[in-house]
Chain A
Amino acid sequence: MSTQARSDTSAPVEVGQAMLSVRDLTVTFPSADGPIRAVNGMSFDVRPRERLGIVGESGSGKSVTAQALLGLTPRDHTTGSIVFEGEDLLTAPQDRLRALRGWDISYVFQDPLSALDPTRTVGHQVAQPLLLRRVPKKEAHRRAVEMLGEVGIPDPARRARNYPHQFSGGMRQRVMIAMALIGQPRLVIADEPTTALDVRVQAKIIDLLYRLTDEQGVAVVFITHDLGILAGLAERVIVMYAGRVMEECSTDELYYRSIHPYTLGLLESLSRISGPVPERLLTIGGGPPAPSRLPTGCPFHPRCQYVQPECRTTPPPLEVPPGGEHASACLRAAWLAERPGELR
């Protein structure tokens, strides 16, 4: 594609080494009832070209984590470190972050209608990251049209002159993706990019993200509440609950051999289009806790069917249990690891 000069401070990354390392990330918001911990000591890596899924329900802290990765959470309330290609984003100056955002790291928002500017043409908005970097207007426009074509907008030269309201939901999401990609980022963070879309459109967006990593070597962090969506796309999955990592492993390990009661419960409660139709769906009782009222000990213990007395007092560490293949934050992970697949 283009030969646009990259920011030259970025060090080349070896394949297999992490391009993004998050360590002990904690985001706290002040509130009338005292500080609310939205993210509580998250640590994870993203490798180049990787497709990482982060799954969690409302209040799990998944979107706040995504915002923190772009330096969009208030700094005085964010601790830990987020090292992107050797540079800590939590201490980098603001203008350095502005240079990175939309260029080296970009973000696809959940709701394209509120993220797009209704008063500017789609072509102009897609070209924006280039215009901000002083790419000549004509060239920027040409590349915006090219990018709209890349993401599957038919007749891109004409559609670039349209406004967001003239696009359907799926097409708007493609516009968002075109905007995220025009700077040729190495990392794309997509926060529920398919949630409001019809299933056939959803599948097309998934295919597009897959193609990106496969053909252009972009790493994608895909954030969602839907384990179904991740199954085909992600190579690795992190399950979040109450601002913490509950389980982290390869996609197959998670879906076929999970060793965390929360993940097992999520998988059981999904309705499916094949297999036997149960009388009742199995459910996890109760609902996710509000970040302002987290229970003591393991945050999942009030809803857990395997709960033990010490779960109420001791938060379980995230570690690989004896006999297990991957990390799970559960005191009974070793017990669950002896029963792979049986509990589903």
Chain B
Amino acid sequence: MTTPLLQVRGLVREFGHGPGLVRAVDDVSFDVMQGEALGLVGESGSGKSTTARCVLRLIEPTAGEVRLDGEDVLALGGPALRRLRSTAQLVFQDPYSSLNPRMTVADIIAEGIRIHRPRESSTTVKDEVVDLLELVGLRPDHLTRKPAAFSGGERQRIGIARALALKPKLLVCDEPVASLDVSIQAQILNLFADLRERLDLTLVYIAHDLSTVRHLCGRIAVMQDGKIREIGTREQIYEDPQHEYTRALMAAVPEPDPRSERAKLAARRSAQTTEAGRL
């Protein structure tokens, strides 16, 4: 029996105070095994991104426990926390605002290595950067260019190479394909699947829709109002959803099939007319 790489217990994060107090994350617990891909799905405001940011300690949780690779994440400070940061990395949603436009691709990818291993020779760093670039499907001649020269999909590959530079065990991806074209989304999803296999990566993949998650994640947690409503294997969630909210989300996902979509639309319309009143 393997121990989980990531253990989250009773995680709570509150924002504001007094009557305006909001519990963005409300008693969330889950495990992620080494090599596993967990999907964290929910609508905007469900607390999925806040959960991820608490796990990485980019924001401080109000209460709860997070153990990563055997270490108590919330108790760490100083050099130990920095070490943890190389164990778990984040891929951001927006490939435009998450890359510094004034840095070259080489510097963007190497930045983490230079901070965490300051005494590394520049040739070693360069070799590693070239390898990373190849790993994510970019060419060595891209190294000297700046982000503006790249399309959204290519930028996301740069962001992924940067996240992989410190050889993390856990990669947290916050809606990494949401702002990409459909034909590029599939390429990036395949890249994540390949990387997971080749590098034995553990993934926490955050998304607002159930369709991209299905391709990548063996286990899925559905979040609403800061709580996990349902967590289960891909088969359990997609074939036999237990929670009403999961079923509602599933029913609303549009599929490229006109006959079934028209049937769904007609069903929604007749449900509304029985509800009496306007949409």
Contact = CB atoms under 8 A, between A and B. Distances in A.
A95 B153 CA distance: 42
A199 B252 contact: yes
Contacts of A269: 182-183, 185-186
Interface stretch (B72-80, B110-118, B254-262): B254-262
Interface residues of A, number: 50
A233 B279 CA distance: 16
Contacts of B152: 58
B215 A281 contact: yes
Interface in B213-262: 214-215, 234, 238, 248-250, 252-259, 261-262
Interface stretch (A5-13, A69-77, A114-122, A202-210): A202-210
Interface in B143-188: 151-154, 181-187
Interface string A224-245: 0111110111000000000000
B44 A198 contact: yes
A288 B278 CA distance: 41
Contacts of B261: 231-233
B265 A287 contact: no
B182 A266 contact: yes
Nearest to A275: B255
A60 B256 CA distance: 20
A282 B279 contact: no
A283 B193 CA distance: 14
Contact of A169 (B44, B154, B190): B44
Given A198-B43, A225-B181, A280 B193 contact: yes
Interface stretch (A34-42, A128-136, A149-157, A181-189): A149-157
A277 B209 contact: no
B264 A232 contact: yes
B182 A273 contact: no
A57 interface: yes
B189 interface: yes
Interface in A254-304: 255-256, 265-267, 269-274, 277-285, 287-288
A169 B43 CA distance: 12
A277 B278 contact: no
A233 B215 contact: no
Contact of A57 (B183, B212, B258): B183
Contacts, number: 136
A252 interface: yes
Choose among B184, B211, B254 the residue with the greatest number of A CB atoms under 10 Å from its CB: B254
A232 B259 CA distance: 7
B82 interface: no
B279 A207 contact: yes
Nearest to A60: B181
A220 to B, nearest CB: 14
Contacts of A231: 254-258, 261-262
B237 to A, nearest CB: 10
B272 interface: yes
Nearest 10 interchain pairs by C-beta: A232-B261, A269-B186, A228-B254, A198-B43, A281-B186, A231-B261, A152-B279, A57-B181, A199-B252, A283-B186
Given A255-B256, A273-B255, 15 more contacts: A198-B43, A207-B279, A210-B265, A225-B182, A228-B255, A229-B254, A232-B264, A233-B261, A266-B183, A267-B256, A270-B211, A271-B215, A273-B210, A281-B190, A288-B181
19 contacts: A58-B152, A199-B253, A200-B249, A203-B268, A225-B182, A226-B254, A228-B254, A231-B257, A233-B261, A233-B265, A251-B258, A255-B256, A271-B185, A272-B214, A273-B210, A274-B255, A281-B190, A283-B183, A287-B154
Interface of B: 43-44, 151-154, 181-187, 189-190, 193, 208-212, 214-215, 234, 238, 248-250, 252-259, 261-262, 264-265, 268-269, 272, 278-279
